[in-house]
Structure 1
């Protein structure tokens, strides 16, 4: 398996658990995090073209990024925030561990399968990228699905910190010369209540050519 540590750029960072927005890159890639809240309840882009529009479901709002080539939906009521190094972040104001973030980094690879099977890639990403070194992690499930000839890997995992455990879902794929990562999750105590909505978020994530 090709080392995933050779893939990220030091100019990108995952959300910090210290900001309660999710899990974050550590080691030589760790950087400080800052964020500001944007207006709530409004899609972050103009109406998406119908050919790439995220399916809008009741209780969700669509996001389409025409510049970077991806689309997904997020729960109504979450606010968009700006996090250094992240392309998009939406979070719940009351339950800050309930969030979704999109990260994009350049890659020369053409297919996510070039890095290995879902189980191996998931374990490596969770241990080295998606959780801090102080958190205990557990990969629950790793799967692969195909959308219009493009392979996507999805991981379900736990990240245990001293004062909380986050139950998370991550989907990764490669296209447009980029490695896309979308991660959503919730406090473990709210997982049963939130899991269907969070699965809707990651399942809706799709990239398109730009």
Structure 2
């Protein structure tokens, strides 16, 4: 597959060597962090099922979890046609997802939505506590991202390919972005990812699809990846 150019959002899960303080236990601390930051299945489902009507200049509806308030700049949040917005004011992030996708529980993740037919076509967001204050604390982007893809994303039988890496700053928050493929002898999957550090947390958004469908859905999924933003909490 030829390299794909153009801007896109990225994300990585986590790496025990880069994200945790030296005093943390390498494996048990990671598992504890995941459990602490994720919701119970019923709670997660309930948080995603409250749909508010469009407000002001919204081009679509905004999904707000129970107990959440609308963002202060809700009237300025323009959601693209055929998308909805997931806004989590408690955990400090928001993003857009295709309006015909449905929510589901993805183990170890705070929120997730998937295509109603192609279940491997989905977006998911997770976060863990970190003592880092910026993505730059992970090291140089050109070193940190390949290391994360190889050691965290890829399983032993998968060959990773990174197509492009970029960084972005907005409202004082920094993001690293990349598009990557993981290929095994019998299966390949391509995705965008978005990584950000803020609120004492390391956030990850990944949105992808089966490689066979990637060319058809790439632009649609890029909107999801590009929309990820941190909110102050």
Deviation of 1:40 (Å): 7.7
The superposition leaves residues 74-102 of structure 1 with CA deviations (integer Å, 9 ceiling, x where unpaired) of 01111111122101111113112211010
- Higher-Rg structure is 2
Q: 1:84 to 1:133 in 2, by over 3 A?
A: same
Q: Which runs of 5 or more structure 2 residues have no equivalent in the other structure?
A: 1-13, 21-29, 35-40, 52-62
Number of residue pairs aligned between Structure 1 and Structure 2: 188
In structure 2, C-alpha distance between the alignment counterparts of 1:67 and 1:119, rounded to whole Å:
32
Mapped contact 2:106–2:124 kept (Cα < 8 A) = no
Q: 1:170 to 1:59 in 2, by over 3 A?
A: same
> TM-score normalised to the size of structure 1?
0.80
| 2:89 counterpart of 1:80 | no
Compare the two structures and name the one with the higher strand fraction.
1
Equivalent positions of 1:74-113 (< 5 A) are 74-113=97-136
Aligned to 1:10: 31
Mapped contact 2:33–2:129 kept (Cα < 8 A) = no
Deviation of 1:44 (Å): 5.3
Q: What is the aligned-residue RMSD (CA, Å)?
A: 2.6
Aligned to 1:18: none
Aligned to 1:59: 82
Displacement over 4 Å in runs of 4+: 35-42
Compare the two structures and name the one with the higher helix fraction.
2
Equivalent positions of 1:51-200 (< 5 A) are 51=73, 55-200=78-223
Mapped contact 2:168–2:176 kept (Cα < 8 A) = yes
Q: Which runs of 5 or more structure 1 residues have no equivalent in the other structure?
A: 14-34
